[in-house]
Amino acid sequence: MKQKLLPILMLLLGAIAPLSAQNQVTGKVVDGNGNPVMGAKVSVPYSNKFVLSDPDGTFVLDVPASTDRVMVEYVGLGSQLLNISPNMQIVMKDKSQSEGGKWSPFVGLNATFGKELNRPVYGAMLGALHNNFGFYIRAAFFNHPYDKEVVAEKMTYTEKHKFYAVTVGGLARIYKPLFLNLGVGFTKHNKDIKATYPSTLGESVSYDFLENHKAHVCVDLGLSLKVSHFMLNGGTLYEANKAAASEWYPYVGLNYCF
């Protein structure tokens, strides 16, 4: 009986041994100034097995032989997923620094107003933020033609006005949640004016006047407030067009940051 049990026990031990094989990871956790970090969590990724670094920043963690990386976390500092190496020297970075290499794209809608516009002109804004700076494109605003009818001296004028605007610019952080945005672009007005008046023969006569104003340079200046995944922005477009009824076009918008 003993002779039969012995081979079975050897097979079981051989099967269990690889499963229980572990490696020991040692190292030290410090901050950006080289000071020891106490209480940093060093763990096996995707498991509940971890240790906390000692007052001098050192740690010892037993990991399965198949594990080649460890996760290091500390409140207020960025988490890191690192490859295992002998006597690891782990430098914890500020969260903003650890995430500084990531671009955060955003997209949203905005509305522009002006004396020449009898309704808001809606448009889109897209871009990306990179820690303390970013860029954006305020896309061409949608067309909003409207009719305006004026009766004077037995003549009727009907006007259709279309407005376009495009700006490209950058964002710079001036306070933690607040960004300054500055850009340049162009605006364009298209006006289709139709004049109708009675003739001496008793019939109405109409004339069409199409005014295709050339594109004008404009400056986009505003502020953006980022809270969590949302960014509220507002500002104004200044148009270099002395012939226009209004040279300033205020706008407001809301963006979502991914």
- Read off the pLDDT of residues 147-172 as tens digits, 9 standing for 90 and up: 555 565 666 767 777 788 899 999 99
Continuous segment of H or E residues that includes residue 98:
helix 95-98
What are the sequence ranges of the domains in the chain? 22-98, 104-257
User: What pLDDT is recorded for position 178?
Assistant: 92
Helix (H, G, I), strand (E, B) or coil at 28: strand
Q: Which residue ranges of the chain lie beneath pLDDT 70? A: 1-20, 94-101, 140, 142-155, 157, 197-213, 242-246
As its CATH architecture, domain 104-257 has Beta Barrel (2.40)
CB 39 within 8 A of CB 74: yes
User: What pLDDT is recorded for position 116?
Assistant: 72
For the domain made up of 22-98, give the CATH fold.
Immunoglobulin-like (2.60.40)
What are the structure tokens assigned to 187, written together?
A: 């605006």
Please state, in angstroms and rounded to a whole number, the distance separating the CA atoms of residues 136 and 58.
45
Burial environment of residue 86 by CB neighbours within 10 A (0 to 12, 13 to 18, 19 or more) = exposed
Residue 170: what residue type?
Answer: G
Helix (H, G, I), strand (E, B) or coil at 19: helix
The C-alpha angle 133, 137, 141, rounded to 5 degrees, equals 145
The C-alpha angle 245, 248, 254, rounded to 5 degrees, equals 130
User: What pLDDT is recorded for position 46?
Assistant: 82
pTM: 0.55
User: What pLDDT is recorded for position 245?
Assistant: 57
User: What pLDDT is recorded for position 56?
Assistant: 95
Helix (H, G, I), strand (E, B) or coil at 221: strand
Give the side-chain half-sphere CA count within 13 A for 34. Answer: 0
Alpha helix ranges (H) inside 83-224: 95-98
User: What pLDDT is recorded for position 21?
Assistant: 72
User: What pLDDT is recorded for position 246?
Assistant: 61
Please state, in angstroms and rounded to a whole number, the distance separating the CA atoms of residues 254 and 146.
25
CB 142 within 8 A of CB 153: no
What are the structure tokens assigned to 166, written together?
A: 């495009």
Please state, in angstroms and rounded to a whole number, the distance separating the CA atoms of residues 55 and 80.
20
Please state, in angstroms and rounded to a whole number, the distance separating the CA atoms of residues 225 and 232.
5
The C-alpha angle 200, 156, 207, rounded to 5 degrees, equals 70
Residue 28: what residue type?
Answer: K
User: What pLDDT is recorded for position 136?
Assistant: 97
Residue 51: what residue type?
Answer: V
